[in-house]
Amino acid sequence: QVQLVESGGGLVQPGGSLRLSCAVSGSISSINNNVMGWHRQAPGKQRELVASITSGGSPNYADSVKGRFTISRDNGKKMVFLQMNSLKPEDTAVYYCSLRRLVYDYWGQGTQVTVSS
């Protein structure tokens, strides 16, 4: 079993920043060869992939967050991060860390991000 635990969510004003962290543990010995991702789901909306990072460190972003969010990884610590800047109310969602083997088949419990005045 692989466990992913997110942290760093909270309440922030529009234009503010948050840094989300994801710690991976369990049966997987390393995340060196895995694509890692961050998904989010807002009430009444489908879950969407907002950022991913390949084993080689190449990032990809949804258009809605490009230029504002940065995904990074620390393979030695088995951690993944999402730096979120210039936050907008529409970024409000539960953010989930995810690990891809064949597909994104391991998920964290999520951390709530609320962007509001």
Ordered per-residue pLDDT tens for the chain, 117 residues: 899 999 999 999 999 999 999 999 999 999 999 999 999 999 999 999 999 999 999 999 999 999 999 999 999 999 999 999 999 999 999 999 999 988 988 999 999 999 999
Please, is 56 exposed, middle or buried when counting C-beta atoms within 10 Å of its C-beta (0-12, 13-18, 19+)?
exposed
Q: What is the pLDDT of residues 52-71, one digit of tens each?
A: 999 999 999 999 999 999 99
Q: State the pLDDT at residue 1.
A: 87
Q: State the pLDDT at residue 81.
A: 98
**79 vs 30: CA distance, rounded Å:** 10
Count CA atoms within 13 Å of residue 23 on its CB side: 6
